[in-house]
């Protein structure tokens, strides 16, 4: 699952980079910074939730999910603040486009992941 989320984000980042390189190369840097921040934040959250022993993954607690989401939001917030302070000429629209599309890619990848439930013997509905 971790690989699926990160692969989806990197794929969307590559598509954004290709589109902006062809249509507006001056916006490419800003979009890649936004997408990179998205990959860092969502990568942390996916690692926090899905990395580890398979037995632990099946019994993910709500606390783990909340901790991962809070950590993701802190990472994204801090990195966005650093980007706006450190990078001159950052295009806000391209930056937010990279950030939002990268985040949506990870959400869609996680939401469309299917898990097989174990079969229960002896119970029929």
122 within a domain of the structure (yes/no): no
Q: Is residue 102 part of a domain?
A: yes
What are 116's two structure tokens? 């097989």
Look at residue 12 and tell me if it is in a domain. yes
Q: How far apart are CA 31 and CA 67, in angstroms?
A: 27
- State the residue range of the domain holding 53: 2-111
54-72 residue pLDDT tens: 555 555 578 888 888 999 9
Q: How many of the other CB atoms lie within 10 Å of CB of 121?
A: 6
pLDDT digits (tens, 9 = 90+) for 65-121: 888 899 999 999 999 999 999 998 898 998 998 899 888 888 888 778 766 656 666
Domain count, the chain: 1
13 inside domain: yes
Instruction: Please indicate, yes or no, if residue 121 is contained in any of the structural domains.
Output: no
């Amino acid at each position: 699952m971790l690989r699926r989320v990160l692969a989806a984000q990197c794929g969307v980042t590559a598509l954004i980079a290709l589109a902006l390189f062809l249509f507006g190369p001056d916006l490419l840097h800003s979009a890649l910074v936004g997408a990179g921040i998205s990959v860092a934040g969502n990568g942390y959250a996916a690692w926090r939730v899905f990395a580890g022993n398979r037995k632990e993954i099946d019994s993910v607690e709500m606390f783990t999910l909340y901790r991962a989401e809070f950590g993701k939001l802190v990472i994204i917030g801090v990195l966005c603040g650093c980007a706006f302070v450190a990078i001159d000429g950052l295009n806000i629209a391209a930056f937010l486009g990279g950030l939002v599309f990268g985040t949506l890619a990870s959400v869609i990848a996680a939401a469309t992941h299917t898990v097989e439930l174990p079969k229960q013997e002896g119970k029929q509905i």
